[in-house]
Structure 1
Amino acid sequence: MKYLASVALALAVAQATPVKRDAPQGIDVSSHQTGIDWNAVKNDDIEFVYIKATEGTYYTSPQFGSQYTGATNAGLIRGSYHFARPDTTSGADQAQYFLDNGGGWSADGITLPGALDIEYNPYGSDKCYGVSADEMVAWVMDFSNTYNGQTGRYPVIYTTTDWWTTCTGNSPAFGANNPLWIAHFASSIGDLPAGWDYTTFWQYADSGPNPGDADIFNGDSANLQKFARGG
């Protein structure tokens, strides 16, 4: 999730803090973060973490297993995310790959539903991966329905309002089912994509005192646990 902002923007907002400081704080990490002291993270009042598991149908994070186990042992609520490559294979194939490599969900109260990270293309100049808006909506729906069919939960969608507007035509098709995880590095959350009246998670900075990016849950700790259980 390091593809979201220019260097200038990242430097400008690195110290940004969210408006709601009483809500559960979280982080998201990938293979870029190694040797994480999960007990220290927990002791810094971090309550949840999303961990990169897969990308496309060709990559599994070498750090995923140790990160997931470490977060679990430290008592964090944790979940996994998949980096979308809609230019390579189908949404259904990528959802299955994600499920087969750490992306599952269970109603144990400590597992967050899997998240689909769909954003700017880090591998080329076309931010929409050469896919039309209608094709992109169909791809995301394919992924979402496949994930739901096997877990009973719809995946969280991680994106930015700009990317969603540009690359899906600002489709409102997912707001009724898919929780939104919005990325916006600023002191306020800004406009949301069509279909969503609120966001479940907000990634508000790409740095902080803990590893990875900084996130916040829209609710209190009891609601976070309820969300993890599927309630």
Structure 2
Amino acid sequence: MKAARNDDLPTFLNHQERAWLGTLLDLTCGGPTPLRDLWRDSWFDDASQRALILQPSHRSAFLYVPQAIFCEAENALAHTLEIAMLLERLIASGLALVHRPPVPANDELCCIGATFGTPRVEMVDNKPRIIINDNGDYTDDPSTINNRQGQVLYRSIALPSDAYELMQAVTHGLLQIRPCARVQLLARLARPQQQARLERLRLRPPPSDSTATTQHSVNVDRPNDAQAGEILQRHWVHSHGLLLAISGLLITCLAAALGIYANDHLRKAQPARVTGTPQVAPTATSPAPAAGRTALAPVPGSLPRGLDVSQWSGSGTSGAEAVLEVAADIDFAFTRVAFGTRLDPEFTINWRLMRRQGLYRGAYLFLRIDQDPITQVDIAVRAIGEARPRDLCLALDFEEQSLPSRAPAPDVAQVRQVLIRALARVQERMQCTPLLYTNWDMGSRYLDHPQFATYPLWIADWTGAQEPRLPPAWTRFAFWQRASEFHGSPKPADFDVFNGSIADLDSFVRGTMQ
């Protein structure tokens, strides 16, 4: 599950993501750059021996690695998707822009990698064969790429449907990093020790005075003009010479001025938030974290804490189990059961693991607007199975990727109809009130009808504030996804809090209709 926040980048990036972000900033310093070229020149270059084929007509994608190192294909796929999700976060948070043609190109085949030339189709023994380069290397089966003698050069690993859509979204169009964002990202990459100290300050409870809070946010999240200019100048002088460095300083000054104006304008124009006051759980003495485990970040009023995981957290003992091993004193956990009609491959093991941990456990269905809502819910409910003690009602995840990719945005009325049918089906099948997971943007755009406010809200708002920003239809929240990960976790996992006491969680258990 993802939410768009720019203050998490690049603080929580791993070493590989930080390195790739630096490369990305280098490659885009000259202006908008084709995403396909970025991937080819950085991740799928000659040295990598990796390649990617996207087939829009079949909504499929295949990652290729040399036959000799196919045992490393899973790692290559994991790192590829990490980079794709990083790009998606840059775009969703507004740090980067993607310029796409008004009508998406109807590419029958998209090949990315130094391995490929200009693919063409030939008929051999009345069978189609895709010739991928001047050497005559070809594929007539997505699982392999062969040379002229028929020897296997590359083998593939197929991407699941949601991973295909992610790769399709981040490999098409022109990518542009905003000037202000470039300064911010370069500053954070250049001074990791200082940024770690600032991040610790940012996580402290903000002052009660509104003016002080605003000043604190500005001081922590943005470098001052002198720091920004110094960082940008040093980076560009090293990479592109004095001329580009001077140009960069001019852009920095202009961007800073525009940023000050924009921030002031937004503060004046932004409507007041409508939020609910979190219920404070009864005071209790929390046990000390077990040896070798890392305590989660403090939350207001010691509210119950939890996590949510999916296949992106990894598999088996190296996935959610590794996450829970370092998460001390959590009370609940969610795991993805399906992406539309496709089951999450890690759901079964994650579901059993959460029960063994004695947690309140919940499942979320990443709802697809372009698929039948009844079918999606039925598949999820069948996978979940019979209710056990502490099983929470199903949550419906509605966010940007719920909408069809490479297609015009659906009508608001159509989106609402799909959601209402899915929510009603959950109530019918599970005899409980489902949760609605969303963020402020999607909730404000599609869920502003009072009918949706009758369902408990699981709000995604990655912030250090004391309360999340709620869509207009809601005045309070049930669960709050506060961060995309927590300190010490070896794998991706989101950090959540519950707005109530432990006893209040029982009202969300299956079989309980609110």
Residue 142 (structure 1) aligned with residue 421 (structure 2)? yes
Local SS of the residue matching 2:500:
coil
The Cα shift of 1:164 comes to: 1.5
- The aligned runs of 1:147-166 (5 Å cut-off) are 147-166=426-445
1:198 equivalent in structure 2: 476
Residue 9 (structure 1) aligned with residue 7 (structure 2)? yes
Moved more, 26-35 or 221-230: 221-230
Which aligned segments of 4 or more residues in structure 1 are displaced greater than 6 angstroms?
none
Assess, with a 3 A threshold, how the Cα gap between structure 1 residues 81 and 39 changes in structure 2: closer, same or farther: closer
2:503 alignment partner, one of 208, 219, 222: 222
> Do 1:82 and 1:98's aligned partners in 2 also have CA atoms closer than 8 Å?
yes
Local SS of the residue matching 1:80:
strand
The Cα shift of 1:38 comes to: 6.6
The Cα shift of 1:226 comes to: 4.1
Aligned AA (1:22): S
Moved more, 74-83 or 30-39: 30-39
Residue 114 (structure 1) aligned with residue 394 (structure 2)? yes
The Cα shift of 1:192 comes to: 1.6
Residue 55 (structure 1) aligned with residue 339 (structure 2)? yes
2:462 equivalent in structure 1: 185
> Do 1:157 and 1:180's aligned partners in 2 also have CA atoms closer than 8 Å?
yes
Local SS of the residue matching 2:300:
coil
Q: 1-side partners of 2:497 and 2:504: how far apart?
A: 13
> Do 1:192 and 1:198's aligned partners in 2 also have CA atoms closer than 8 Å?
yes
Q: 2-side partners of 1:49 and 1:172: how far apart?
A: 28
Q: 2-side partners of 1:166 and 1:39: how far apart?
A: 35
1:45 equivalent in structure 2: 329
Aligned AA (2:508): F
Unaligned runs of 5+ in 1: none
> Do 1:13 and 1:205's aligned partners in 2 also have CA atoms closer than 8 Å?
no
> Do 2:304 and 2:330's aligned partners in 1 also have CA atoms closer than 8 Å?
yes
Specify which structure has the bigger relative contact order, considering alpha-carbon pairs within 8 angstroms and separated by 6 or more residues: 1
Assess, with a 3 A threshold, how the Cα gap between structure 1 residues 18 and 92 changes in structure 2: closer, same or farther: farther
TM-score of the aligned structures, taking structure 2 as reference length? 0.40
State how many pairs are aligned: 220
| Deviation readout 1:130-188 (Å, 9 max, x if unpaired) | 211111111100000011111111210000121121234x2221212x11100001123
Q: 2-side partners of 1:24 and 1:182: how far apart?
A: 15
The Cα shift of 1:228 comes to: 2.3
RMSD after superposition: 2.5
Residue 76 (structure 1) aligned with residue 359 (structure 2)? yes
Q: 2-side partners of 1:76 and 1:41: how far apart?
A: 15
> Do 2:433 and 2:508's aligned partners in 1 also have CA atoms closer than 8 Å?
no
> Do 2:432 and 2:508's aligned partners in 1 also have CA atoms closer than 8 Å?
no
Q: 2-side partners of 1:13 and 1:182: how far apart?
A: 22
> Do 1:29 and 1:213's aligned partners in 2 also have CA atoms closer than 8 Å?
yes
2:274 equivalent in structure 1: none
More helix by share: 2
Percentage of identical aligned residues:
28
Assess, with a 3 A threshold, how the Cα gap between structure 1 residues 19 and 71 changes in structure 2: closer, same or farther: closer
Residue 26 (structure 1) aligned with residue 310 (structure 2)? no
Assess, with a 3 A threshold, how the Cα gap between structure 1 residues 30 and 24 changes in structure 2: closer, same or farther: same
Q: 1-side partners of 2:471 and 2:420: how far apart?
A: 16
Structure with max Cα Rg? 2
TM-score of the aligned structures, taking structure 1 as reference length? 0.84
Assess, with a 3 A threshold, how the Cα gap between structure 1 residues 47 and 105 changes in structure 2: closer, same or farther: farther
Q: 1-side partners of 2:391 and 2:343: how far apart?
A: 19
- The aligned runs of 1:78-97 (5 Å cut-off) are 78-87=361-370, 89-97=371-379
Aligned AA (2:7): L
